[in-house]
Chains A and B, each alone.
Chain A
């Protein structure tokens, strides 16, 4: 199995060529639609896009590929959990004992209490954030029945 952490690829090249083409924004957005690139224009006028990157080549054995591809439904929120797990050490260093809200693999708000975080989410018009609390102590991974 080969693992790649490179970001961008063909999508990045398309973006660079389209965005720097000098076309009006509306036309650029149409082009992105035609390439199947999901976009979002922020309140500040920034263009945000979503794109796929290779996480692992030859990840699924051929005999299981059809069944997995047929049934796959990936909730958007699932990526937040994956991202958090992969960056837990850094997140813990920055946000220990705080509540955090994650959108698109980024901590977009944090607070000492949940009500304060929810207020920030509301004020920032952040829709459907992934919310969790970052304890300072080590994670206990195992559970078992006691006496």
Chain B
């Protein structure tokens, strides 16, 4: 059996619902590098079910855009709905654990949540990083050199 090594571990985020129940979510904080070079830290939900990293549509100013729907249009299926929804694709610079990558990002209308602003998806990201997912210990393992 192959063994894999990881240099970093990221603890799941511990949240508490209104009824007091504890929930653990794999939320990671990613730096979005704007066209001007400034960095903004954004919380994203680690989502292996998302083909492409997806951000809330109204984050478009961070990408140096004047509207959210000027990119390459995409029809995207979502976990919650039968019909595809419209997303717009862009190329952005992201930084995780000090490693900077270029990757495609979709802007899309997403549910509003103060604790994450988008989904950290597979395309390009999963080539640049290796991930190990350990739900029982609420840990996400990351290597920068997969």
Give the residues in chain B near A132, CB-CB below 8 Å: 42-43, 114-115, 117
Task: Across the interface, name the chain B residue whose C-beta is closest to A91.
Answer: B114
B3, CB-defined interface residue at 8 Å: no
B13: nearest chain-A partner, CB-CB: A81
Selected contact of A85 from candidates B18, B62, B79, B115, CB within 8 Å: B115
- Chain A residues, Cβ within 8 Å of B17: 139, 141
Q: B29 in the interface, Cβ–Cβ < 8 Å? A: yes
Taking the nearest CB of chain B, how far is it from the CB of A53, in angstroms? 18
Q: A71-B6, A75-B97 are contacts. A129–B41 as well, Cβ < 8 Å? A: yes
Report whether B23 and A141 are in contact in the complex, using a CB–CB cutoff of 8 Å: yes
- Nearest chain-A residue to B36 (Cβ)? A122
The answer to whether B58 touches A130 (Cβ under 8 A) is no
What 1/0 mask marks residues of chain B from 75 to 96 whose CB sits below 8 Å from any chain A CB?
Answer: 0000111100000000000000
> B9 contacts which chain A residues (CB < 8 A)?
68, 71-73
17 A–B contacts, CB within 8 A, in A order: A64-B137, A72-B9, A75-B29, A78-B29, A81-B13, A81-B27, A81-B115, A84-B114, A118-B61, A130-B42, A132-B117, A133-B114, A135-B113, A139-B15, A140-B111, A143-B79, A146-B81
Which of A64, A115, A128 makes the CB contact (< 8 A) with B41?
A128
Known A135-B113, A139-B113: A81·B29 in contact at CB below 8 Å: yes
Distance of A130 Cα from B115 Cα, bound (Å): 11
Question: By the criterion CB–CB under 8 Å, are B18 and A138 in contact?
Answer: yes
Q: A73-B9, A133-B114, A135-B112 are in contact. List 13 more A-B contacts (CB 8 A).
A: A71-B8, A72-B9, A78-B29, A81-B115, A92-B114, A114-B59, A114-B62, A127-B38, A132-B42, A139-B15, A139-B17, A139-B113, A145-B80
